[in-house]
Chain A
Amino acid sequence: MRHARALATARETGIFLAFVLVLVVTTTKNPAFLFSNDGFRDLLLTPATLILIAVGEAIVIITRNVDLSVGSTIGLTAYLTGYLFKTAPDIPWPVVILISILFGGLLGLVNGALVAFAKVPSLVITLGTLYAFRGINVLWTGSNRINASDMPRGFLALGTAKLWVIPVIAIIAAVVLIAAAWYLRNTRGGRELYAIGSDPDAANLYGLRVTRRILLAFITSGALAGLAGVLYTARYGTVDSQAGYGLELQAVGAAVIGGVAIFGGSGSVWGAAIGAVLLVTINRALPVLGIQDFWQQAVVGLLIIAAIILDRVLALRTAKRLTVLTGEQA
């Protein structure tokens, strides 16, 4: 009973219902959107990359920071993955995956160290690395392109493989999501991330290891972007210098739509993941519904603004309720 009520009032439920609405309306118009093999596969497969980086982004935003460099991190790690296959074909492909994830984590460490030690706002730092990482990427790649023929078959199979009817990539995203949600909810480290975002000064007074936690949040975000870069390569089988371009704003958008407060301290990775699914599905649904291309971005923008207004209204309502409660208590 208590659980049912908590579920009904959870911020994530609203977003999920919005997703269901989009799905039902679109499927009514064109049943193949859900009930064809391709339709069902795409529904699960296309949001996977965005889910991964939205989870990382949510973790960073919860600590009252932001990571704008994830798109560029995907670009670098995706190219690194292809580059290793091409130049060092002897390395087994699972090791290549591991190297790319670690490299993503290293890029995250660069962000985190600059934020935590240099005490510069993360918005500025990661805006810088957004351009710096992409610049390095373009320098390194030039006009080269790595193609499917350069990559081992086992690795490429990852992009299309299914477990029963579910794409393996979607399963990977789901596993990461569940692990992150579990960590944030059930461990001291996870709760401390919320505490730090809620009031950084108080966190210092409590003796929480603020610097270390913020470093870890950025490393996680970078590593998840690294994993997303690997899966991008596996799925599309071709990489140039523009992989992941612009995804950072989609990640931030997904987190905000999913109810992660932009000033930190509240929200969940579930919300961010559902936000990611909603964003991607809307983008796919609009053409089916016959809405012109250039409306799509406007719809995403409206969604973000609606989410923020909803949060504000809910916060005011809670504040009012709490005031009345306190009044009765006195």
Chain B
Amino acid sequence: MSPAPAAATPAHALELRKVVKTFGAVVALRSGTLALDNGSIHALVGENGAGKSTLVKIIAGLYQPDSGEFLLNGEPASFSSTAQAKAAGIAVIYQEPTLFPDLTVTENIFMGRQPLRSLGRIDRKAMHSEAIALFDRLGVKINPDRPARGLSIADQQIIEIAKAISLDARVLIMDEPTAALSGVEVDRLFAVARSLRDEGRALLFISHRFDEVFALCDVVTVMRDGSYISTEKIADTDVDTIVRQMVGRDVSELFPKQETTVGEVLLDVQGLSTAGVFQDISFQVRAGEIVGLAGLVGAGRSEVARAVFGVDRYDSGTVIVQGRRVPGHDPAAAMRAGLGLVPEDRRKQGLVIGTSVARNLTLAIRNQLSRAGIITDRAENAASRIWASRLEVKSAALDTEVGTFSGGNQQKVVLAKWLATEPKVLIVDEPTRGIDVGTKAEVHRLLSQLAGEGIGILMISSELPEVLGMADRVLVMREGRITAAIERKDATAETVMYAATHGGHDGSAKGGAAA
């Protein structure tokens, strides 16, 4: 199929041919085929559950393939540990950051391969200055001496990237590195990725954002249901073709927002402030309305959501649900008042990993289910079956451990958990982060349907198309303040981005807004 080689083609930097991986009866990878070339950025796309993560874990040495070929520079390779893959020059930036919270940023970058002086002593000075050089190269300001604990996901990703770059890896695999980065940070990352490509390295870039794939990559491979579908040059293909190959069908409606009649005010937040985090936050959410909360990562959006729901304390302001004031710092009271929060970090805040789907689904309604303080399996299963089927959670059995699910299905479980409490207002924080196109559309359809039923929805999202497509009204935050409230008809990528980067108060801006 590919153009006939004129001379002897140089070996691929990394090549997988018909690699198979099964876990018991589950086939995670049916036929994984991938060829990465030096000096090229290769995109790998596919729905969640298509086998991308399994493929990456095989390359990283975390899984061993059952069959198939694995070649590195034309030589057969097989890794029994991540250390071996690393030694062979393969660096992986995982979707979920893997940092040591108690250690400093610098130590996190160099763990296991710190520069040494005589007597096997770690050369702290060299390590420190190398960390600073790395951050300069990435164009970010992170204190290399601070502990990793408390870093935002965006910063943690940056550290992952710095780590991979410092490894001087020949093959660099990035599993959705941009999922939590703001526009500026993405641009920076792309600049670095291009310079790494120009140095002759091979890069694999996994993303659900097609604009990024087309902006950055040279070649794209599509996977579906654990199998290889196609590999094409970016110049020879387009979004529609790729989406068709990914889902095996046409996705016409990505953002199916239904028109609804907007009703009474359900959630009324007034003058909410927490020193150093956000100031003077006031907004309303009405019945049947989807309010988008946009802004750059770090603008304080999630913090507002957590304060409204009562997870975090706030210094001043009031939260009113259906005319009744909700006491601060009391999530149980917030739930009773009719609030629900679907958090940003599914694995840590939304699910009890290690327990069953049924247990997770019924987590928020345990009091209703119990008879004299005892919950039977039967009650649990009966209650969860309704929600599992309504959301089409793909699960053979409700007793499956929830941690084994793909990101999309995990998100559906979290959503279902909150819907079981029959909330009046649902706050969803990055509802489709790390979710494939097909499931994304399902989540959108569901949110839209809920709004149609009269629930008020506050949707925090970093994906502009999602905000613009779904929201009736867009609130934009910047540096802890709401800088704009834009109606659906006026909301464009430009107006929202302008408010997110320039708008409102101007404490320390460098006079950029006027020009």
Q: Are B112 and A192 in contact (CB under 8 A)?
A: yes
Distance (whole angstroms) from the CB of A35 to the closest CB of chain B: 40
Q: Are A207 and B98 in contact (CB under 8 A)?
A: no
- A208 to B: closest C-beta gap in Å: 5
| A330 with B98, Cβ < 8 A, contacts A186-B122, A207-B81 known | no
A147 contacts the other chain (Cβ, under 8 Å)? no
CB contact between B83 and one of A207, A265, A319 (< 8 Å): that residue: A207
A238-268 at interface with B (beta carbon < 8 Å) = 261, 265-266
Supposing A207-B86, A327-B300 touch, asked if A198 and B141 sit within 8 A by C-beta, the answer is: no
Q: Is B82 an interface residue (CB 8 A)?
A: yes
Size class of the A contact interface (CB-based, 8 Å):
20 to 34
Contacts of B149 in A (CB 8 A): 319, 322
How far apart sit A327 and B143, CA to CA, in the bound complex (Å)?
A: 14
Q: A188-B120, A207-B86 are in contact. Are A326 and B150 (CB under 8 A)?
A: yes
Q: Is the CB of A194 within 8 A of B112?
A: no
Residues on A with beta carbons closer than 8 Å to the beta carbon of B113: 188
- B interface bracket (residues with beta carbon within 8 Å of A): 35 or more
B-side interface mostly: loop
**B152 contacts the other chain (CB 8 A):** yes
Structural contact, B298 and A195, CB atoms closer than 8 A: no
Is B114 engaged at the interface, CB distance under 8 Å to the other chain? yes
B277 with A205: CB separation less than 8 A: no
Q: Shortest distance in angstroms between A330's beta carbon and chain B's nearest beta carbon?
A: 3
- A residues in contact with B486, CB < 8 Å: none
Residues of A within 8 A of B277 (CB): 323-324, 327
A62 to chain B: closest residue by CB? B102
CB <8 Å contact, A199 and B122: no
With A198-B101, A205-B82, A266-B102 given, is the CB distance from A191 to B114 under 8 Å?
A: yes
Asked whether B112 lies within 8 Å of A199 as measured between CB atoms, the reply is no
In the complex, the answer to whether B103 meets A186 with C-beta atoms within 8 Å is: no
> Known: A194-B103, A330-B298. Is A208-B111 also a contact (CB below 8 A)?
yes
Q: A197 to B102: give the CA distance in the assembly, Å.
A: 9
User: Contact flags (1/0) for B128-168 with A, using CB distance below 8 Å?
Assistant: 00000000000001010011011110010000000000000
A206 at the interface (CB under 8 A from B): yes
Q: Does B498 contact A (CB under 8 A)?
A: no
Given known A-B contacts A205-B82, A206-B82, A322 and B150 have beta carbons under 8 A apart = yes
Contact between chains at A329 and B141 (CB < 8 Å): yes
Q: How many A-B residue pairs have CB under 8 A?
A: 100
User: With A and B bound together, what is the CA distance between A191 and B82 in angstroms?
Assistant: 19
A265 touches B122 (CB 8 A): no
* B480 CB–A CB distance under 8 Å: yes
Q: Which residues of A contact B298 (CB under 8 A)?
A: 326-327, 329-330
Chain A residues with CB under 8 Å of B81's CB are: 207
Taking a contact as CB atoms under 8 Å apart, the answer to whether A202 and B479 are in contact is no
Which chain A residues numbered 22 to 54 have a C-beta less than 8 Å away from chain B? none
Residues of chain A lying within 8 A (CB to CB) of residue B120? 186-188
Asked whether, in the complex, the Cβ of B111 is within 8 Å of the Cβ of A204, the reply is: no
A201 nearest in chain B by CB position: B98
Also in contact, A202 and B86, with CB within 8 A (given A192-B111, A319-B150): no
Q: Which residue of B lies closest to A187 (CB)?
A: B120
A291-330 CB mask vs B (1 if < 8 Å, else 0) is: 0000000000000000000000000001100111111111
Question: Chain B: which residue is nearest A197 at the CB level?
Answer: B102
A207 closest partner in B (C-beta): B83
**Which B residue sits closest to A329, measured CB to CB?**
B141
- Bound-complex Cα distance A202 to B99 (A): 6
Judge whether B98 and A195 touch: CB under 8 Å.
no
CB of B82 to closest CB in A, whole Å: 4
Q: Which residues of B contact A (CB under 8 A)?
A: 61-62, 81-86, 94, 98-103, 107, 111-114, 116, 120-122, 141, 143, 146-147, 149-152, 155, 276-277, 296-300, 479-480
10 inter-chain pairs at a CB distance below 8 angstroms, sorted by A residue, are A199-B99, A202-B99, A204-B82, A208-B112, A319-B149, A323-B150, A325-B146, A327-B277, A327-B300, A327-B480
Apart from A207-B84, A327-B277: 5 A-B pairs, beta carbons within 8 A: A195-B100, A195-B111, A199-B101, A202-B98, A329-B298
Q: Lowest 6 CB-CB distances: which A-B pairs, in order? A: A207-B83, A330-B298, A265-B102, A198-B100, A207-B82, A202-B98
